[in-house]
Amino acid sequence: MEEGHAIFDRPAPGAVTADAGFAQAGGLCQAGGVDVGILGGTGPAGLGLAARLAAGGLAVVVGSRDEERATAAVAELRARWPDRALAARAGTNAVAAEAALVVVATPWDAAEQTVVGLADALAGKVVVSMANALVGVGREIQAVVPARGSVAAGIAAALPRSRVAAAFHHLPAKELAALDAEMEGDVLVCADEPAARLATAALVARMPRLRALDAGSLAAAAPVESFTAVLLGLNRRYRTRAALTVTGIPGAGMAEVLEKEGGPAGASGRCA
Ligand SMILES: NC(=O)c1ccc[n+]([C@@H]2O[C@H](COP(=O)([O-])OP(=O)(O)OC[C@H]3O[C@@H](n4cnc5c(N)ncnc54)[C@H](OP(=O)(O)O)[C@@H]3O)[C@@H](O)[C@H]2O)c1
């Protein structure tokens, strides 16, 4: 763990403290923030998110089943952005799971088996799933329904001592990784516990111009995940990379709650 980034006391395995998520939200908005681990961080989605979060000032651990692959992925990141002091380092998934907040970026059908072996390390922490259950059918990408209704619900069942949230499903990997352009759009955040929602919103707040919206409980992850298939179909038909923007909701979305309850998000409702 890089010193100076884990700024709150990590709860002991199994101990879900009442305010850990709020502490994380506050910590994520403070200079240096808390560290974030990404399981399956060598893929385009995880590595893209790692790049964005590191560009937003967080310390990120890019996790993999194979440390050498993670090392190569981090080297690729550094080579692409040599002038940015990205605080990204490589590790196994077990090392990434030691981070204060952990994102699951594996293929959907590998998510549960990946987290279940890390349950002790993930206990008491916010775990954010960005996985979408999709399959290719002919030229189309279609959504499939996992056993528990969503990938996030499966992860939550596998991690009863963690606080699971779902987010980032609709952010295209290529744009995430393109740090020379800001991303625009809304990030739908689902979680059963307000603290998990808030900590996830604080991650979003690290990415300028992306707005976190409270999409409800983890039950809402099912339609959020499967809607990705619709976006990918739009991309193919219109030869673009569609992003999600919800109209009719003025303001900064969850960043306003973050500012009120979670910590110093700044007057804009964004992390400074
Ligand atoms: N691509 C996008 O634009 C995008 C956007 C938003 C969300 N997502 C979602 O984010 C997740 C990752 O997407 P991706 O495109 O980056 O996927 P990916 O490249 O297929 O997989 C990501 C990483 O997961 C690990 N992995 C692969 N198979 C595994 C297995 N059987 N068990 C454990 N780990 C395994 C691999 O890392 P190691 O081999 O190094 O362990 C791989 O690099 C997916 O669930 C996807 O639906 C993707």
pLDDT truncated to tens, each residue of the chain (272 aa)? 333 333 223 333 333 333 455 566 667 766 666 799 999 999 999 999 999 999 999 999 999 999 999 999 999 999 999 999 999 999 999 999 999 999 999 999 999 999 999 999 999 999 999 999 999 999 999 999 999 999 999 999 999 999 999 999 999 999 999 999 999 999 999 999 998 999 999 999 999 999 999 999 999 999 999 999 999 999 999 999 888 999 999 999 998 888 776 554 443 445 65
When the pLDDT of each residue in the chain is averaged and rounded to a whole number, the result is 88
Q: Give the residue whose CA is nearest to atom 29 of ligand 1.
A: 110
Looking at residue 268, its pLDDT comes to 45
* Ligand 1 atom nearest to CA at 41: 23
20's enclosing H/E stretch is helix 20-28
Q: What is the whole-number distance in angstroms between the Cα of residue 270 and the centre of ligand 1?
A: 28
**Ligand 1 pocket member 72 (CB < 6 A):** no
Looking at residue 4, its pLDDT comes to 33
> Which domains, from first to last, does the chain contain?
20-259 (3.40.50.720)
Nearest CA-CA partner of 96 in 123, 118, 126, 72: 118
* Ligand 1 atom nearest to CA at 172: 3
Q: How many CB atoms lie within 10 A of CB 148?
A: 17
Cα–Cα distance list, 89 to 27, 35, 170, 182, 234 (Å): 20, 11, 25, 23, 35
pTM of the predicted protein model: 0.91
Cα–Cα distance list, 269 to 22, 182, 257, 265 (Å): 15, 17, 8, 5
Nearest CA-CA partner of 194 in 167, 165, 157: 165
Q: Give the residue whose CA is nearest to atom 40 of ligand 1.
A: 64
Looking at residue 271, its pLDDT comes to 61
**Ligand 1 pocket member 108 (CB < 6 A):** yes
Q: Give the residue whose CA is nearest to atom 42 of ligand 1.
A: 43
Looking at residue 259, its pLDDT comes to 77
Q: Give the residue whose CA is nearest to atom 6 of ligand 1.
A: 169
Looking at residue 13, its pLDDT comes to 35
Q: What is the whole-number distance in angstroms between the Cα of residue 82 and the centre of ligand 1?
A: 25
| 207-239: pLDDT as tens digits | 999 999 999 999 999 999 999 999 999 999 999
Looking at residue 262, its pLDDT comes to 52
**CA–CA gap between residue 197 and residue 244 (Å, rounded):** 19
The partner residues of 211 in beta bridges, in order of sequence, read: 186
Nearest CA-CA partner of 181 in 55, 43, 29: 55
3-class SS at 101? strand
Nearest CA-CA partner of 131 in 228, 212, 23, 215: 228
Q: What is the whole-number distance in angstroms between the Cα of residue 44 and the centre of ligand 1?
A: 7
**CA–CA gap between residue 54 and residue 50 (Å, rounded):** 6
